Amino acid sequence: MKKVLIMLSSMNIGGVEKSLLSLLSVFPKENYEITILLLEKKGEFLNYLPDWVKVEEVNWYKYIKPIITQPPQMTVKTYIHNKNFLELLIFLFSYYIDKKFNQRYLFYKNIFRNVSNRNDYYDVAISYQGPTDIIDYYIINKVKAKKKISWVHFDISNHQINDRFYKKIYKKFSKIYVVSKEARNELTKKFPYYKSKTSTFLNIISSKVIKEMSEKEEYLDRSFSGIKIVTVGRLSKEKGQDIAISVLSRLRKNGYDVRWYCIGEGNYRKELETLITEYKVKHDFILCGSTTNPYPQISKADIYVQPSLHDGYCLALTEAKILNKPIVATNFVGAIEQIVDGKTGVIANCNEEDLFEKIKYLIDHKEIRNRLSKNLSNQHLDTISEIEKLMAYLK
> What is the domain partition of the chain in residue ranges?
2-205+386-394, 208-377
Q: What mean pLDDT is predicted for residues 32-46? A: 96
User: How much is the pLDDT for 301?
Assistant: 95
User: How much is the pLDDT for 218?
Assistant: 67
Q: What mean pLDDT is predicted for residues 257-284? A: 96
Residue 157 in this model has a pLDDT that exceeds 90: no
Distance CA 335, CA 42 (A): 30
Question: Residue type at 110?
Answer: N
Q: Lowest-confidence range among 54-58, 197-201, 329-333, 352-356?
A: 329-333
Distance CA 387, CA 395 (A): 13
pLDDT in tens, 230-242: 999 999 999 999 9
Model pTM score: 0.88
pLDDT band at 219, cuts 50/70/90? low
Q: Which residue has the higher pLDDT, 100 or 125?
A: 125
Residue 341, classified by CB atoms within 10 Å of its CB into exposed (0-12), middle (13-18) or buried (19+), is middle
Distance CA 195, CA 70 (A): 35
Enumerate residues 6+ apart whose C-beta is below 8 A from 135: 7, 8, 9, 39, 127, 128, 129
Fold of 208-377: Rossmann fold (3.40.50)
Task: Dihedral sign for Cα 47, 48, 50, 55, please.
Answer: negative
User: How much is the pLDDT for 55?
Assistant: 98
Q: What mean pLDDT is predicted for residues 333-361? A: 94
Fold of 2-205+386-394: Rossmann fold (3.40.50)
pLDDT band at 128, cuts 50/70/90? very high
Enumerate residues 6+ apart whose C-beta is below 8 A from 381: 205, 207, 318, 321, 322
Using alpha carbons only, give the angle 47, 133, 243 rounded to the nearest 5 degrees. Answer: 75
Query: Helix (H, G, I), strand (E, B), or coil: what is residue 289?
Result: strand
Enumerate residues 6+ apart whose C-beta is below 8 A from 173: 127, 140, 148, 149, 150, 197
Number of neighbouring beta carbons within 10 Å of residue 162: 18
Beta carbons of 315 and 19 less than 8 angstroms apart: yes
User: How much is the pLDDT for 298?
Assistant: 95
DSSP string, 313-360: S-HHHHHHHHTT--EEEE--HHHHHH--BTTTBEEE-SSHHHHHHHHH
Enumerate residues 6+ apart whose C-beta is below 8 A from 224: 259
pLDDT band at 311, cuts 50/70/90? confident
- Residue 15 Cα distances to 138, 216, 239, angstroms: 22, 21, 12
Residue 189 in this model has a pLDDT that exceeds 90: yes
- Residue 269 Cα distances to 127, 231, 287, 316, angstroms: 29, 14, 8, 19
Q: Which residue has the higher pLDDT, 217 or 6?
A: 6
pLDDT band at 71, cuts 50/70/90? very high
Please indicate whether the domains covering 2-205+386-394 and 208-377 agree at the CATH topology level.
Answer: yes
Residue 191 in this model has a pLDDT that exceeds 90: yes
Mean pLDDT rounded to a whole number for the chain: 93
